[in-house]
Amino acid sequence: MSLETCSGGYVKNWLFLGAAIVAEVVATSGLKATDGFTKFWPSLLVVLGYVMAFYFLSLTLKTIPVGIAYAIWAGLGIVLITLTSWVIYGQKLDLASMLGMVLIVSGVVIINLFSNVSTH
């Protein structure tokens, strides 16, 4: 079964949401490297990343409710940006920040498993 025919493209739209999250994480991670948008290549990466992120996010809204899509996009984006900053920029993570990330991921899981509005 192709992604196009599975539940009217529903699976494909979840893949689009994943692409939106990845593009947003790449763009946000590159913000520091732009040095206030004074460096061309990092700035271009950031702009293109955000354009792609919003484009793919908009595609998800064909089947995924906007509140659910945005909650997942923002929640997972926060966690992935924090982890990326830890790896790339050496940002320190304390117990409170790690607990907060666990709660964010838990919220995304709860929305997807138990909310009736998360299904089409």
State pLDDT tens for residues 45-90.
999 999 999 999 999 998 888 988 999 999 999 999 999 999 999 9
pLDDT classification of 5: cutoffs 50, 70, 90: very low
Looking at the predicted structure, is the pLDDT value of residue 2 above 70? no
Looking at the predicted structure, is the pLDDT value of residue 94 above 80? yes
Question: What pTM was computed for the model?
Answer: 0.84
How many helices (H) does the chain have, and how many strands (E)?
4, 0
Q: Give the Å distances, CA to CA, from 86 to 28, 80, 89.
A: 13, 10, 6
Using an 8 Å Cβ cutoff, are 59 and 92 in contact?
Answer: no
Percent of the chain with pLDDT over 90: 72
pLDDT classification of 118: cutoffs 50, 70, 90: low
CA trace torsion 44, 50, 51, 57 (10° rounding): 160
